[in-house]
Amino acid sequence: MLKAKILFVGPCESGKTVLANFLTESSDITEYNPTQGVRILEFENPHVTSNNKGTGCEFELWDCGGDPKFESCWPALMKDSHGVVIVFNADIPSHLKEIETWYSCFVQQQFLQNTQCLLIAHHKPGSGSDKDNPALGKEPGVLASVWNALGICMLLCVLAANSSVQFVSTCCVLAICFPHHVNQNCRVSRSTQARLQTL
């Protein structure tokens, strides 16, 4: 069975813990409590396959606290990681400025490939401009420029009150890790599929 260590990193109050809990089917969170250091969630997915390593995968999802005071712990968190998910709230302007720091520290300095990184713009209901169709951020062009500048896959998601996730991007590495959470609106391009098969 494959083994994978995935880090969830990003600024404070970006929704890393809520998203991690949803993906691992852990308990729901009703109020905000900053993650102190790191929280490790372990689970298996029998649907992940690899060329020579059998079927299924044991995941360690490391939900990392976003407070800069934990920066001294980052090298230990990064050790032997296979992938990084950078989560931010597009409705908080300072988060857009912090993304490059997280990318530099957790991806570039660890010599991870861009195919091992996913950028998630996590929209929290009640934040920003909620209408019939939630808009992620007031300036979609800013998100696109961040996505293009970093050259990594980006996934925009909405965590609804009923704990369902709607994926609205065309690139989704989580479709491989968590296929039962990906709805019909998530389309993975052929080039992305080819890159994911090499992981």
Closest CA to 35 of 59, 11, 55: 11
Report how many domains make up the chain. Answer: 1
The encoded tokens of residue 186 equal: 């998530």
What's residue 100's pLDDT? 84
Query: For residue 25, what are the domain limits?
Result: 2-197
Question: What pLDDT is stored for residue 199 in this prediction?
Answer: 38
- The per-residue pLDDT for 51 is 64
Helices 140-150 and 93-103, axial angle in degrees (round to 10): 10
Task: Show pLDDT as tens, one digit a residue, over the chain (199 residues).
Answer: 788 899 999 999 888 888 888 777 776 666 778 889 889 988 887 776 666 666 778 888 899 999 989 999 999 999 999 889 888 887 788 888 888 889 889 988 888 887 788 888 776 666 554 444 344 444 444 445 555 555 544 554 443 333 333 332 323 334 434 443 333 333 444 444 444 344 3
Q: What is the pTM of this model?
A: 0.68
Give the pairing type, strands 117-123 and 55-64.
unpaired
Strands 83-88 and 2-9: parallel
| CATH of residue 72 | 3.40.50.300
Phi-psi region of 111 (alpha: psi -120 to 50; beta: other; left: phi over 0): left
